[in-house]
Amino acid sequence: MHYDKVTRLLHWGFALLIPLQLLSQEFMKRPKPGRIREDMQVFFFEMHEWIGMIALTLILLRVLWGFAGGAEGGWARLFPYFTSKGLKGLKKEICTGVPSWFKGNFPAPGKEDYLAGMVHGLGLLLVLALGMSGAIMLYGMEESGKMLGFVHDMKELHEVLGEVLWIYIFGHVGMVILHRLFGHPMFQRIFSLKN
């Protein structure tokens, strides 16, 4: 699978901003009525807000790029279960390909990686949901930290999705390392700007 330059540049942005978001959440403290926050906690909270809005912008650009058909494979690759060909390929890959992994047969990425495409699509939806729920909190939370019902619900969702994102990132990076151990040039495919 060949990734176009726009997709690769957007991936660079995700690779930089998403870990910063995950790390900043560990050091920040959200405003809460009556809560005293240290300057560093305020700094990381504001950093989380700014980086989150930049990341959301990149995610929306990636979505638009997919709709424009610029991304290699487009939406058919990211969401193979929406087409009969993709669903058939996904089922075949899960039923025959995945069991062969446990026998030491880890195939090189090909043109139609339905399972990998689906996992990337789910990751995109996860980060989009995080960005949208974060934006709702940013614009719906009072300066004191007070939130009304819907915004509070979005905060709860945002926190749960943040934990899921940690799992996704470890799995994503783990698969890249596994591919690399099998000699597949994964880093070059997504991080090189050469065509």
Sign of the CA dihedral running 18, 20, 26, 32:
negative
* CA atoms of 12 and 147, how far apart (whole Å): 34
What residue ranges in 93-192 does DSSP mark as E strands?
A: none
At 32, is the secondary structure helix, strand, or coil? coil
Its pTM surpasses 0.75: yes
Q: What is the pLDDT of residue 38?
A: 87
Domain that holds residue 138: 5-191
Are 176 and 186 contacting, i.e. CB atoms less than 8 angstroms apart?
yes
Longest dimension (CA), the chain: 58
Mean model confidence pLDDT for the chain: 86
Q: Is 34 a residue whose pLDDT tops 80?
A: no
Q: State how many domains the chain has.
A: 1
| Chain centroid, CA 153 distance in Å | 21
pLDDT of residue 71: 57
* Segment 139-157, tens digit of pLDDT: 888 877 788 889 999 999 9
Say if residue 185's pLDDT is above 60: yes
Asked whether residue 112 carries a pLDDT value surpassing 70, the answer given is: no
- Rounded-to-integer distance, Cα 96 and Cα 71, Å: 27
Sign, Cα dihedral of 41, 42, 45, 51: negative
Q: How confident is the model over 45-101, as pLDDT tens digits?
A: 899 999 999 999 999 998 888 877 765 557 888 888 888 988 998 999 889 888 888
> How far is Cα 55 from Cα 21, in angstroms, rounded to an integer?
9
Distance CA 33, CA 35 (A): 6
Domain of 118, CATH number, reads 1.20.950.20
Q: State both tokens at 31.
A: 């405003």
Residue-level pLDDT at 41: 87
pLDDT, position 70: 60
| Helix H or strand E segment including 12 | helix 5-27
What are the structure tokens assigned to 5, written together? 């330059």
Distance CA 56, CA 23 (A): 17
SS3 label, residue 47? helix
pLDDT the model gives residue 149: 87
